[in-house]
Amino acid sequence: MSNQKYDMMRLRAAGDPKRLEEILQEECREKTRDKLPQTLLCDGFRFPTRLSAEQCTSDSLAEQHSLLVKPGSDVLDMTCGLAIDAFHIARRAARVTAIDIDPKVADAARDNARALGLANVDVICADSVVWLGESGRRFDVIFIDPARRSSDGRRLRALADCSPDVTSCLSLLKERSDKLIIKASPMLDVAMTVKELGGDADIMVYGAKGECKELTAIVPGNGLITVTTPGRTDFSFTLAEEAAAKAPQALPAESDLLFEPSAAAMKAGAFNLLATRFRLKKMDKNTHLYLGDAPVEDFPGTSRRIVRVERYSKHISPEMKSLLADGADVAVRNFLLTAEALASKLGITRGGKGRRRLYGVRCGSAKLLLMTVAD
C-alpha cells in the first residue's frame, strides 16, 4: 500500500483516535514486513510512530549486532528507539538497560519488551549521556546508534555530527564499559571513523543484497576492518596492510574473468589488498575492477566473463552491436561518462535478458568498452 493510501485513510478517520492508531499499526507492519519478519510474529508488538518503523534496525542486522555481545553480559542501549537491537541482544545478555529520550517511544519499548516476554529488559526515558554520567553505573557493553540526520533532514557523514556526538563523550563511554559498539551510517568514511575514535577501533562493514547496509565500530579494537556478507567468509584487513599492498595491473582481454567488489567491500576500501589476497590483477590504479583467469572462492563480490573488448568511440563495432541487440545492463568505472549517458550515446536498451553487462572503464590512458556475461 502506498503512503498516499494511508494518508487518505487517516483523513477519513480524523477525530477517531482508535481508528487512527489501527491505521498507524497497519501501515508500520506493512512497511516493515520484510525488515522485521521475526519480530512481527508477535501480534502484540506495536509501533509508536511512523518514523520508528522507517528508522528501525532490521531483524537480520540486529542479530548480527547481538553476536558481538558475550552471553550473560550486562548491556546498555543508549538510543533504543524501537529497541529491535535491544530485544535481540536481550536473548543473549543477562540484562539490557534501554534508554530513549522520547517518552512515547520509551513507553512503546517497555510494552513491546513485555509482549515479547523479555523480562530482562529495563526501559528508561532519559537523556542517555546525562543519565550515564549521573548514574555511576558500569556495563559490560554499551551499544549506541546515534541519529544520522540533522533537524532539517540532511544526512550526516561524520560521527561528530550525529546525536549524541560519540566523539565528545567517548572518554565517558569507554570509562563506563568494557566494550563499546557504535552503529553507524554506511555513508561514513571508514578511515575517518577509525581516526575519530582514537585509532583503537575495529570496523564491521555489513553488506547484503548488493548494498552496504551499515558500519559498526567496536572500541577498543586493533584497527581491524571486516567485510561481512551472508553466505561468504568474512574478509578482514587493516589500513596499514592496505597501504602496504601493491596491486599488479593488467589490461582486460577476452575470456578473462572480471571481478567486481561488492558495495560493502568498496566501502571498506581494500582496493589493493583485493588484488594481492586473491591473486588478481587490477585494471587501473583508480578503476576498482579486477582480472583473473579462474573463479575465486569467497571473493567479496561477483565475477563475470569478458566476451568482447574494444576501445570506446562514437561508433561501436558490428560484433559489439550484435551482442547489444537484445539490450544489456550498463555500468561505468573511472569513465568519462555516466552509465546513463553511455547507454544513450551508444543507443543501448538498458536491461534486456539480464545476463549481459557492458562496462565503460578507463585503463591508463585507454577508454575501453567491455561486454561481459554472467559466468
As a whole number of Å, the end-to-end CA separation of the chain is: 38
* Residue 40 in this model has a pLDDT that exceeds 90: yes
Distance CA 73, CA 95 (A): 7
pLDDT score recorded for residue 370: 97
**Contact yes or no for 228/234 (Cβ under 8 A):** yes
Distance CA 287, CA 103 (A): 50
* Residue 184 in this model has a pLDDT that exceeds 80: yes
Residues in the chain: 375
Q: Which residues of 330-362 are buried (b: 16+ CB within 10 A; e: fewer)?
A: bbbbbbebebeebbeebebeeeeeeebbbbbbb
> H or E element: which one contains 132?
helix 128-135
pLDDT score recorded for residue 2: 64
Q: Give 3-state DSSP helix, strand, coil % of the chain, rounded to 5.
A: 30, 30, 40
Q: Which CATH number fits domain 54-222: 3.40.190.10, 1.10.20.60, 3.40.50.150, 3.40.50.2300?
A: 3.40.50.150
Number of H helices, E strands in the chain: 14, 16
**Contact yes or no for 68/93 (Cβ under 8 A):** no
What is the arithmetic mean of pLDDT over 46-60?
Answer: 94
pLDDT score recorded for residue 154: 62
Angle, vertex CA 86, rays to CA 84 and CA 193, nearest 5: 90
Name the pLDDT band for 246 (thresholds 50, 70, 90): very high
pLDDT score recorded for residue 319: 93
Name the pLDDT band for 64 (thresholds 50, 70, 90): very high
* Residue 155 in this model has a pLDDT that exceeds 70: no
Higher pLDDT, 222 or 111: 111
Share the mean pLDDT of the chain.
93
Name the pLDDT band for 15 (thresholds 50, 70, 90): confident
Cell of 317: 563495432
pLDDT score recorded for residue 12: 85
Name the pLDDT band for 180 (thresholds 50, 70, 90): very high
pLDDT score recorded for residue 9: 87
Distance of CA 285 to the CA centre of its chain: 25
DSSP per residue over 273-323, as a string?
Answer: HHHHHHT-EEEETTEEEEEESS--TT-SEEEEEEEEEEE--SS--HHHHHH
pLDDT score recorded for residue 153: 57
**Contact yes or no for 257/291 (Cβ under 8 A):** yes
What is the arithmetic mean of pLDDT over 18-38?
Answer: 95
DSSP per residue over 337-356, as a string?
Answer: S-HHHHHHHHT--B-TTSSE
Name the pLDDT band for 158 (thresholds 50, 70, 90): confident
Q: Which residues fall within 8 angstroms of residue 40, CB to CB, at 6 or more apart?
A: 29, 32, 33
What percent of the chain has a predicted confidence (pLDDT) above 90? 79
> H or E element: which one contains 131?
helix 128-135
pLDDT score recorded for residue 79: 96
Listed in order, strand segments (DSSP E) in the chain are 74-77, 95-100, 121-125, 139-144, 177-184, 202-208, 211-219, 224-228, 235-238, 257-261, 281-284, 287-292, 301-311, 329-333, 356-363, 366-374
pLDDT score recorded for residue 354: 60
Distance CA 174, CA 219 (A): 8
Distance CA 344, CA 350 (A): 9
* Residue 149 in this model has a pLDDT that exceeds 80: no
Strand partners, 219: 180
What does the pLDDT look like over 324-356, one tens digit per residue?
888 899 999 999 999 999 999 988 888 766 689
**Contact yes or no for 311/318 (Cβ under 8 A):** no
Q: 112-116, 214-218, 227-231, 292-296: lowest mean pLDDT where?
A: 227-231
- Nearest in space to 357 (alpha carbons), one of 218, 260, 221: 260
pLDDT score recorded for residue 163: 85
pLDDT score recorded for residue 315: 85
> H or E element: which one contains 112?
helix 103-115
Distance CA 290, CA 283 (A): 6
Higher pLDDT, 180 or 208: 180
pLDDT score recorded for residue 59: 96
